[in-house]
Amino acid sequence: MSKFKTLLLAYHGGNNHAISLAVRQFSENVTQRTNGQIAIAIVQNSALGSIPQLLRLVIDGSADMALLPYERLGLYAPKFGCVSMPFVFDDYAHADRVLDAEFDAWARPSLVALGVTLLAGWEWGFRQLSNSRRPILRPEDIQDLKIRLPPVPPFRSMVVALGGIPVMVEFSQLVRALRRGLVDGQENPVSVIHSLGLQFDQKYLSLLNYIYGLLGHVVNSDCLAGLTESQQIILKEESIKAAELARQFARSHEAAQLDEFARQGMQIDRPDVAPFKALMKPVYAELGEIYGAENVRSFLAMVERQRQTPERLAT
């Protein structure tokens, strides 16, 4: 076994996004802590293909690691898809209580059959809805708007339930779709809107916190097993540290980014989410058919447990 290894880490994200900062920290710390025995080769955006292709590359061993949205992992390991059910989390604290403990222990083993190992979940954030045509204050305001979505079930189901027109476009083509007028709007966390400069293309932003997103930092299991025990520990520890950096940076900068949007002419609205959430029952039923009814029931039960007794369960 060679003393020195270079591990390939592939992901999609803007250069000034919290995820990119976390990737750089992860790379630098792993190299430093292994005394240069492990180097991380970072491949960003579409260099290795679309997001679904990245997962296949990690499964096949063509890429050692990738950062992949939980909803994409859900296409192979259905429990992960449950995280993207709309309007299940009250706020960041509620999401943290569910996902950092109960969910992680429940879902992580389902990746074993794929030949990949989850190192940590890195925050993508609460997704918001922007568009270039009108303010979205009520569900009916979405009627007939063409909304760019990632090609996975929860997003499409929600937009259809609200009367919008889903347009499934991969992340790498998002900016092009907006600027060519192929869609009226899109949905992403504030940090992503900022990093891509979408506030210059989208006049209206509605803060709905409708889906919470995580990126799974996954590694090919054979690749991980080929490292020494101490190197495996370093990889896992530094992924957790990078996840903490991404979370802290994204949340601490969100208010300033919204202020910047307002100064640049974007209208920011904070609608009551209750009328939107009231229309989600058929969406939950549909997702139960896709991810498994028992998986959905178990997930919603842990969400409710952490909502009802957060002080006791979070300890």
Torsion of CA 124, 128, 132, 134, to 10 degrees: 180
Strands 185-188 and 116-131: antiparallel
Q: Which residue has the tokens 């996902």?
A: 99
Phi, psi of 74 (to 5 degrees): -65, -20
Helices (H), the chain: 18-33, 51-60, 70-73, 78-81, 92-97, 104-107, 153-161, 174-179, 190-196, 221-225, 229-263, 274-277, 281-291, 293-308, 310-313
C-beta neighbour count of 258 within 10 angstroms: 19
Question: Which of 238, 233, 248, 231 shows the shortest CA–CA distance to 217?
Answer: 238
**310 falls in which pLDDT band (50, 70, 90)?**
low
Question: Which of 244, 4, 32, 15 shows the shortest CA–CA distance to 122?
Answer: 244
Return the pLDDT at 54. Answer: 87
**312 falls in which pLDDT band (50, 70, 90)?**
very low
**44 falls in which pLDDT band (50, 70, 90)?**
confident
Q: Name the average pLDDT for the chain.
A: 93
* R_g over Cα of the chain: 19
241: its two tokens: 């540290």
Return the pLDDT at 47. Answer: 63
Distance between CA atoms of residues 244 and 25, nearest Å: 11
- Section 79-100 average pLDDT: 96
pLDDT above 70 for 198:
yes
Is the Cβ–Cβ distance between 266 and 202 less than 8 Å? yes
**53 falls in which pLDDT band (50, 70, 90)?**
confident
Q: Which domains does the chain have, with CATH numbers?
A: 5-313 (3.40.190.170)
pLDDT tens-digit series, residues 272-302 = 999 999 999 999 999 999 999 999 999 999 9
For 103-116, b/e burial (b = at least 16 CB within 10 A) is: beeebbebbeebeb
